[in-house]
A and B are shown apart, each in its own frame.
Chain A
């Protein structure tokens, strides 16, 4: 799959933003006044910045409002509804905390639930696609949710919870990679089933429909950088989990905490790039590619 920068930026930043909003929402003694303002400003900048970024890959961004209508069937529509719901409700919650010094706990809980729901719906956009066997697994929502909650805990300074969640997310990431490498082969879909000619012999593509790559090949058959996939996995794993964990276990310092957050963000972005670049869409089979 083509790794569109707008979608990678969106899922990295929004995931962290909604993760932070979740922890702020369920906090029994959330930050108020100026401290509260800074926390919520960071969370909103990440969540809204990511959402805006995701509209850049649309053919007609001016029609994006229509995307709230089909929540009955579409995970993308559900994501939009949950995101706007979370941002509106937590906006009221944050305003009460920052300006009135009032903690309206039930708004925080509803907002936190909607924040988690947003991340879940994002993950299901990918996790529902039978056409990309590497994504079609309950491990995909597990991956997005653990990344988001771990990143949010890290950003909000919850050291103990962050360490536990980073370890858990690391395990999910390893399991996701492990399963993903066999997913296409295990799906049972190959050029034989794609053409319906597989029971007659070995099917091989001898001529593409056109002489140069088309939209389908550019969107679904992305092979650039796959040869570096293993190195990038090591880099992603080191930056997302190993380095932040070491920094968190050292005696506390604001510098170390900031470095842990930056390292984590860079790592998640690398992991998300791999999420797309390594994913094989079955339409590639028709072109004798994957």
Chain B
């Protein structure tokens, strides 16, 4: 049913650290690989070696420049995939019931056998998280690697979404955002995690952590205090040597 659950037992999702992401696109590639070889229709490519190559991706990395009123601009790499919203507008618009949000973990999924490929769910998503596969004619979206996270055939360290497992910078975190004591919830709490387009009222589960503000040339170095002299007056043998050498004519202090 396309009626949204009033609440879900857990809120599985991602926390993406914009401070740490280096924009390498490794998450994009690992996502495309895993989701082409496993659950559901493969993510097709059109004209992969021709002009204007195009393909289906469940995760894409944008790059932005933020120019403050004063000071130098900052580059922010910005991975974006399904945010598994609590009030997911993509689910309620589905005419066939192919789109649904799971009560047990809050993951938003598409039953590809029921999808008619009308595209309305992609229209309803403000984040561009859903893409109609041009070869299969069905809607594709991030599954939060539902075929990895519960897959006991995989080693425990691999039972997390492919993008999180792959990220070489540790910019992606996976967990239960409905549990205030979980690592991801604590991370969001301590770093001031935020929602994308909160005014849309979608209540995204995925959160983003802000990048640190850029250093200024005028800033005091963090190391400067450590370079200060630790003793104001000298003592002992070196003190005697210092004073004795001062008394000898020639040279200057």
Q: Which residues of A are at the interface with B, using a C-beta cutoff of 8 A?
A: 1, 57-61, 63-64, 66-70, 72-77, 80, 125, 128-132, 187-189, 191, 193-197, 200-216, 219-220, 281-283, 286-287
Query: How far is A132 from B1 in the complex, measured between Cα atoms in Å?
Result: 25
B126 touches A209 (CB 8 A): no
Considering only residues 113-162 of chain B, those with a C-beta below 8 Å from chain A are 114-120, 122-128, 131-134, 136-139
Does B166 touch A at the CB level, under 8 Å? no
Q: Contact check: which of B3, B64, B122, B210 meets A203 at CB < 8 Å? A: B64
- Pairwise interchain contact A206-B75, C-beta atoms closer than 8 A: yes
Q: Is the CB of A70 within 8 A of B97?
A: yes
Contact A59 B93 (CB under 8 A): no
- Chain A residues with Cβ below 8 Å from B65 are 203-204, 206
Q: Are B201 and A130 in contact (CB under 8 A)?
A: yes
Q: Which residue of A lies closest to B51 (CB)?
A: A212
Interface string of B23-40 (1 = CB under 8 A from A): 001001000000000000
B123 lies within 8 A of A204 (CB): no
Taking a contact as CB atoms under 8 Å apart, the answer to whether B62 and A286 are in contact is yes
Q: Which residue of B lies closest to A279 (CB)?
A: B123
* CB of B229 closer than 8 Å to a CB of A: no
Within 1-27 of B, Cβ neighbours of A (below 8 Å) are at 1-3, 18, 25
B102 CB–A CB distance under 8 Å: no
Question: Could you say which of A60, A187, A189, A207 contacts B137, with CB atoms under 8 Å apart?
Answer: A60
Distance from A281 Cβ to chain B, minimum over Cβ atoms (Å): 7
Instruction: Select the residue from A69, A215, A282 with max chain B CB neighbours within 10 A.
Output: A215
Residues of B contacting A67 in the complex (Cβ-Cβ under 8 angstroms): 95-96, 116, 118
* Chain A residues closer than 8 Å to B61, beta-carbon distance: 209
Contacts of A210 in B (CB 8 A): 53, 57, 60
Query: Complex: how many Å from CA A282 to CA B195?
Result: 16
CA A282 to CA B95, docked complex, whole Å:
23
The complex places the Cα of A194 from the Cα of B129 at a distance, in Å, of 13
Please tell me the size bucket of the interface on B.
35 or more
Bound Cα distance from A85 to B102, whole angstroms: 32
User: In the complex, what distance in Å separates the CA atom of A73 from the CA atom of B124?
Assistant: 13
- Residues from chain B with a CB closer than 8 A to the CB of A68 are 95
Instruction: Decide if A125 touches B120 in the complex (CB within 8 Å).
Output: yes
Give complex CA distance A131, B122 in Å.
Answer: 10
Using Cβ atoms and an 8 Å threshold, which residues of chain A touch B118? 57-59, 67, 76
When the two chains form their complex, are residues A283 and B128 in contact, meaning their CB atoms are under 8 A apart? yes
CB atoms of B122 and A219 under 8 A apart: yes
Which residues from A are CB-within-8-Å of B208?
196
Q: How far is the CB of B131 from chain A (nearest CB, A)?
A: 5
Which residues of chain A come closer than 8 Å to B134, judged between CB atoms? 215
Q: B117 to A60, Cβ gap below 8 A?
A: yes
Is the pair B197, A282 in contact by a Cβ cutoff of 8 Å? yes
Q: Is B196 an interface residue (CB 8 A)?
A: yes
Which of chain B's residues have a CB closer than 8 A to the CB of A130? 89, 126, 200-201
B208 CB, min distance to chain A CBs, angstroms: 6
Q: List 20 A-B contacts (CB under 8 A).
A: A58-B116, A58-B117, A58-B137, A67-B95, A70-B94, A74-B93, A77-B96, A129-B123, A131-B89, A188-B199, A193-B199, A200-B213, A201-B74, A204-B64, A204-B67, A205-B62, A205-B63, A207-B63, A214-B57, A219-B132
Q: Is the CB of A214 within 8 A of B54?
A: yes
B250 at the interface (CB under 8 A from A): no
Check B203 for interface membership: any CB of A closer than 8 A. Answer: no
A residues in contact with B68, CB < 8 Å? 200-201
Q: In the complex, A67→B114 CA distance in Å?
A: 9
For residue B198, CB closer than 8 A to chain A, the reply is yes
0/1 string, B79-120, CB within 8 A of A gives 1: 010000000010111111110000000000000001111111
List chain A residues, Cβ under 8 A from B51: 212
Most chain A Cβ neighbours within 10 Å, of B80, B126, B200: B126
Known contacts A59-B138, A210-B57, A219-B123, then 7 further A-B pairs from the complex at CB < 8 Å, ordered by chain A residue:
A59-B133, A73-B94, A74-B94, A76-B95, A188-B199, A196-B210, A204-B64
Report yes or no: B97 in contact with A193, Cβ–Cβ below 8 A: no
Q: Which residues of B sit under 8 angstroms from A188, Cβ to Cβ?
A: 199
CA A125 to CA B136, docked complex, whole Å: 24
Q: Across the interface, do B66 and A203 meet the contact criterion of CB distance under 8 Å?
A: yes
